[in-house]
Amino acid sequence: MQMLFTGFEALPVIGVIALGLGGIIVIQGLSLLPQFGQGQLIYTILVIVITRELGPILAAFIVFARSGTAITTEIGNMVINREIEAFIATGINPISYLVVPRFLGVTLSMMLLNVYFNVFGLLGSFFIAQLFQPLPFSQYAAGLFEAISAADLASTMLKSLIFGALIATVSTFYGFRVERSSTEIPQNAIRSIGVGFTLLIVANGLLTLVYYL
């Protein structure tokens, strides 16, 4: 259920953003790089921007904005409605019952959405490139495969794994921080998104640093 909500329902917005981003990179790259005789660098830039950097972080921002806040709000409401106390009274650990499925669902969805973002971003750039510099798909694909390395793929997947874990942890944590009043729910949702985005940016920076070590 969490994967349906976090993953499947986010596909349209992720697809549009990925296509747009890929298109922008190609438009800018193809208009500037050939002037310096570096037209081939477009593939490297695509891989760096879409696969290694913006793909995971943008997908993470979207997942946090949609599902992270939803999770904080849902759990906050459960606290106010005494549903969490009812789980404890029944002997059901709310962490196992509520947090673990959300953690797994969000983390797995984040990784799959990152793959989806990459596919759409790189495909989108191909279609936009046709407008400026028509080239066969085989040539485009060969250029991309030459530019992309196993380290790039490992980096993007590791980032999406860590970002997914961060989103699930922060959003559930702030949901459980709601104590008594329903006004605490939006307050904690706002806090979770502020803290979550900051942590995502810091984690992204650290992982990028590790990549270059």
Partner 1 sequence: MSSINTSTIGVQACVRLRNISVQFEDFAALKDVSVEFPLGKTTLIMGPSGCGKSTLLKVAAGLLPPDRGDVEIAGVDALRGRPRAMSEMRKNTGFVFQDAGLWQNMSLYDNLALPLEFHYPELAEGVVRRDIYAWAKRFDLVSILPLRPSTLSGGERKLISFCRAMILNPNLIFLDEPTTFVDRLGVERMLSVLREKKTAGCSMIGVTHDADLTSQLADYILVMKSGELRAFGTTSEVAKSQDPEVREILADVLNEAATYDGDILDLLEPNGDLF
Binding site for partner 1 (CB under 8 A): 77-78, 81-83, 85-93, 180
Query: Shortest Cβ distance from residue 79 to partner 1 (Å)?
Result: 11
Nearer to partner 1, 89 or 213 (CB): 89
Pure H helices in 33-99 = 41-46, 55-63, 69-80, 83-90, 94
Judged by beta carbon, residue 130 or residue 181, the one nearer partner 1 is 181
CB of residue 180 vs partner 1: minimum separation in angstroms?
8
Residue whose CB is less far from partner 1, 55 or 94: 94
* Cα distances (Å, whole numbers) of residue 118 to 40, 47, 58, 60, 114: 19, 9, 11, 13, 6
Considering only CA atoms, which of 196, 175, 195 is closest in space to residue 186?
175
Residue 10 CB, nearest approach to partner 1 (Å): 20
Q: What is the dihedral of CA 44, 49, 51, 57, to 10 degrees?
A: 170
**Identity of the residue, 93 or 183, whose beta carbon is nearer to partner 1 in the bound complex:** 93
Cβ pair 56, 156 in contact under 8 A: yes
- Closest CB 117 distance from partner 1, rounded Å: 30
